[in-house]
Amino acid sequence: MNRNLINAVGIIAILFIITACVCNTDRSGTTETNISNEITTAETPPADDSKTMEKDRGDFIVEHSKVQNPRYESIDADIKESKTLEKAAYKLNAALSLPNDIYLRTKDCDQINAYYDPNDSSVTMCYELMEHFYKVFKSNGDSDKLASQKMSEAVQFVFLHEIGHALIDTLKLPVTANEEDAADRCSSYINLEELGQEGVNAVLSAAEAFRIESRGNAPDATSMADEHLLQEQRFYNALCMLYGSDTNKYSDIVDNGFLPKARAVRCPSEYQRTVDSWVKILEPWRKN
Ligand SMILES: [Zn+2]
């Protein structure tokens, strides 16, 4: 995807939210998050039904580790100030009951990664991944400011992908196909149904990152055998979800040739099925 698509869809102008999607760390060491009273109070929103109360035995809880690599101290500090992980936890806790706690972490990991660990029910977003996305967008000619913005947006998509894995495992949700694809669709569903323009930007920036990353990387046996879809497939799937969410609003995606018509015609029903599926499987755990 290139800037034409972004311009065509009319996304760019918008918010410069460097810290919009990522998180918040505590530089003082491994502690639970030092969050505001407002968020603390709201992290366990009151449930209004006894059935929900009974099974709401957990929360999304933000934890921070001391950054190890001095190179990431700046992003660590920025993320801490933004409190975005706490805000995400607040929204998730307001929406869903959990049978146990799920921990949300940002840290330097010595690898470009983001992952859900079922052993301790934790989602970890690595600073190396954030840096990677920034470099990806810079390599495509974006300014520092735009690369930072898109990095945050792409990280938001990946974060909600990991939340998808966490929900599948924790809530024992049925998955009848590739879980990696299901997690991508969970992210698209939450971004596009719940987060307005910010969510649209997250899907677009993630799609653009997938596209840039796929350039010059011809699929080999390892990548084709991987449980993750190829980055180019994730690019088309993300565009399909976006186009399918509103074919009139995003018609330029097809008109300008970014999404082949043969796929596009199915995207509205594909998107609706994705939404209906996630709504249905999360329904028993939804508050209110
Ligand atoms: Zn995954």
Kindly report, residue by residue over 152-166, the tens digit of the pLDDT.
999 999 999 999 999
CA of 185 to the centre of ligand 1 (A): 11
pLDDT in tens, 94-129: 999 999 999 999 999 999 999 999 999 999 999 999
* Torsion angle, alpha carbons of 11, 74, 21, 124, to 10: 140
Is residue 35's pLDDT more than 80?
A: no
User: Residue 90 is part of which domain span?
Assistant: 3-215+223-285
What pLDDT score does 20 carry? 30
pLDDT band at 11 (very low <50, low <70, confident <90, very high): very low
| pLDDT at residue 146 in the model | 98
**pLDDT of 10 strictly over 80:** no
pTM: 0.82
Q: At residue 197, does pLDDT exceed 80?
A: yes
Q: How many domains does the chain have?
A: 1
CA of 115 to the centre of ligand 1 (A): 7
Interval between CA 57 and ligand 1 midpoint (Å): 25
Structure confidence at residue 52 (pLDDT): 53
What is the predicted pLDDT for the residue at 55? Answer: 80
* C-alpha 13 – ligand 1 centre gap (Å): 30
